[in-house]
Chains A and B, each alone.
Chain A
């Protein structure tokens, strides 16, 4: 029977890595097209749309996250090499780093600590539980590193991924308004603030505003990732949250 054939094909596909992988790439391509058509508005970031599409699909088709991840893990795996690859843009920014290394490093150490402590402090005051606090601590760090830190702390890396994306969108949307409110025009200042707070999404936004701001944001993002990986676990340890 054709119908039984289809049903067993579906059972086969739903359990095969091929479906999760293909669905991830399809959803992202579609989301990226939408993002481009809408003039790259940060609120319509492809990650947000792709995640929404995929969750809708998985819930509708009654597919367990574990089965989906069996396929999607091939994309997820690339986070590791992508983190290593951040060394290349960092190296490209070497002349800027040489010129401004002291202001940049001081600002990053301060910013990384503030981003982690303020978010954990506020959520703690409002009664969030321990796993949520641990997942929240690296929210300003670029996703692959943030998820690594979250796993080290005993948080939930997948929750961290969501919080990192939300932070990136927030930073990209409000960053420039805050800077004009502060009457801040220097691209190096705006870029560094954006890269520390809103990682890759802030950097993408910064490149739309100016090349110089984007370059500084990328530099701050890579350095913050490196410094956060060492500093955030120590800070969390001070408050006995690890």
Chain B
């Protein structure tokens, strides 16, 4: 019963997310709005109920499984990948290296900037 309750809560939030995205015509995936709303609810409630936590953990533990069906869809894009492997691969490799290095560099700098020893609250 816990699993059903947990899944129901997640689906209700997803549904609210989808409905608000359509009603307000905002360019964001519905489940993301659902995530934001659930996060706000948890903030207000000050805790997660056990069934929701368990269901969430169960789903996220094997998150990789969930994108297998879409990944298999690559077979529909063989021609595109064969034609554009060079731009795609260069973009992936260069952008990944660039993003890793510059975000690490920026995060380090920001932490120094925001933690001057006098105003540190511990």
- Cα distance A91–B90 when bound, in Å? 36
Count of interface residues, chain A, beta-carbon cutoff 8 Å: 109
Kindly count the residue-residue contacts between A and B in the assembled complex, taking CB atoms under 8 Å apart: 316
Q: Is the CB of A126 within 8 A of B63?
A: no
How far apart are the CA atoms of A125 and B86 in the complex, in Å? 11
Which chain B residues in 5-19 approach chain A with CB under 8 Å? 7, 10-11, 13-14, 17
CB distance from B122 to the nearest CB of A (A): 9
A123 near B90 (CB under 8 angstroms)? yes
Asked if A132 and B87 make an inter-chain contact with CB atoms under 8 angstroms apart, the answer reads: yes
Does A87 contact B100, Cβ atoms closer than 8 Å? no
Q: Are A225 and B32 in contact (CB under 8 A)?
A: yes
Q: Chain B nearest CB: distance from A211 CB in Å?
A: 16
What string of 1s and 0s marks CB contacts (under 8 Å) between B8-47 and chain A?
Answer: 0011011001000000000111111011101100110000
Chain A nearest CB from B66 CB (Å) reads 5
CA distance A86 to B84 in the complex (A): 33
**Residues of A with C-beta under 8 A to B17:** 84
Residue B101, interface by CB 8 Å:
yes
State A3–B26 Cα separation when bound (angstroms). Answer: 56
Among candidates B31, B86, B101, B107, residue contacting A188 with C-beta atoms closer than 8 Å: B107
CA distance A41 to B105 in the complex (A): 26
Chain B, interface residues (CB within 8 Å), range = 35 or more
Note all chain A residues with C-beta closer than 8 A to B91: 118-120, 122-123, 126, 128, 136, 139
Query: Which of chain A's residues have a CB closer than 8 A to the CB of B80?
Result: 131-132, 159
In the complex the two chains form, what is the Cα distance from A201 to B28 in whole Å?
23
Q: Within the assembled complex, what's the spacing in Å between the Cα atoms of A127 and B88?
A: 10
Which of A84, A164, A167, A190 has most chain B Cβ within 10 Å? A84
B2 interface residue per 8 A CB criterion: no
Task: Write the A70-110 contact mask toward B (1 if CB under 8 angstroms, else 0).
Answer: 00110110111111111111111010000010111011001
List the B residue with the shortest CB-CB distance to A79. B66
| A interface residues with partner B (beta carbon < 8 Å) | 20, 24-25, 27-28, 45-47, 50-51, 54-55, 58-59, 65, 68-69, 72-73, 75-76, 78-92, 94, 100, 102-104, 106-107, 110-111, 114-115, 118-120, 122-129, 131-132, 136, 139-140, 142-145, 147-149, 151-152, 156-159, 161-167, 170-171, 174-175, 178-179, 182, 184, 186, 188-190, 192-194, 196-198, 200-201, 222, 225-226, 229-230, 233
What are 12 residue pairs bridging A and B, where the CB atoms are less than 8 Å apart in the complex? A24-B69, A65-B73, A69-B72, A69-B73, A76-B70, A88-B48, A100-B114, A110-B106, A122-B90, A148-B32, A193-B104, A233-B28
